[in-house]
Amino acid sequence: AQTVTQSQPEMSVQEAETVTLSCTYDTSESDYYLFWYKQPPSRQMILVIRQEAYKQQNATENRFSVNFQKAAKSFSLKISDSQLGDAAMYFCAYRSPNQGGKLIFGQGTELSVKP
Amino acid sequence: NAGVTQTPKFQVLKTGQSMTLQCAQDMNHEYMSWYRQDPGMGLRLIHYSVGAGITDQGEVPNGYNVSRSTTEDFPLRLLSAAPSQTSVYFCASSPTTRRGYNSPLHFGNGTRLTVT
């Protein structure tokens, strides 16, 4: 079974600085999808960025980018120019097209942003 | 466009009581799923479905039942509530085409359940 591990329960960053959140996963599949979701205190789940495993190019969405290392099974999220609104729980997630599309989340990293 | 609708938003149960959490979506999504969220454990998949009449177990299925009689609805049943089932529950849906797997899950607003 696939697993997703986020080893940093909490992270802190100064406003305008850069922070990297770590995520590793375990799978024997070659075709899958990876996601980062943000959950602010409102509990709403917001998609931050996504990556298809067959694409070697790292995904980028404005200030958010990923470092996807397929061989190492690593999928870290970099937030540049951090803003107060970035403070939230961040979840890494793995989705397999071979198992009905079930999506598995990591344990989450709580990010705080200091002014 | 309602998206994913979860009811109720809050619920308090006594140990041993049963209840059903309702989830409905109006986007014609084949994939629907239930997660529970607990501090330090992220969102854990309880059950999921890829279409009417098809359900499968996730990571933590014990104590929960599901059925999928229509594309729109995916209720979660707690047969005999236990304090360990105190949690926030989320329903989520998405398409299941190949392109759909790359789509974000659409989440409901969550149900906070307390079992005393």
Say yes or no to pLDDT of B77 above 80.
yes
The rounded percent of chain A whose pLDDT value lies above 70 is 100
Chain A contacts of B54, Cβ < 8 Å?
A: 100
Asked whether the beta carbons of residue B90 and residue A91 sit closer than 8 angstroms, the reply is no
Which of B14-23, B69-78, B89-98 is the least confident region? B89-98
| Residue in B closest to A33 by C-alpha | B102
Say yes or no to pLDDT of B99 above 70.
no
Query: Diameter of chain A by CA atoms?
Result: 44
Q: What is the mean pLDDT of chain B?
A: 92
Measured in angstroms, the CA of B107 and the nearest CA of chain A are apart by 7
Measured in angstroms, the CA of A62 and the nearest CA of chain B are apart by 18
- Are the CB atoms for A101 and B101 separated by under 8 Å? yes
* C-alpha span between A30 and A9 (Å, rounded): 28
Say yes or no to pLDDT of A99 above 90.
no
Measured in angstroms, the CA of A20 and the nearest CA of chain B are apart by 19
- Mean pLDDT over A51-72 rounds to 94
The rounded percent of chain B whose pLDDT value lies above 90 is 84
When CB atoms are compared, the residue of A6, A9, A103 closest to B105 is: A103
Say yes or no to pLDDT of A12 above 70.
yes
When CB atoms are compared, the residue of B42, B90, B92 closest to A106 is: B42
Chain A contacts of B58, Cβ < 8 Å?
A: 102
Token couple for A77: 């999220």
Chain B contacts of A52, Cβ < 8 Å?
A: 102
Say yes or no to pLDDT of A67 above 80.
yes
* C-alpha span between A44 and A36 (Å, rounded): 14
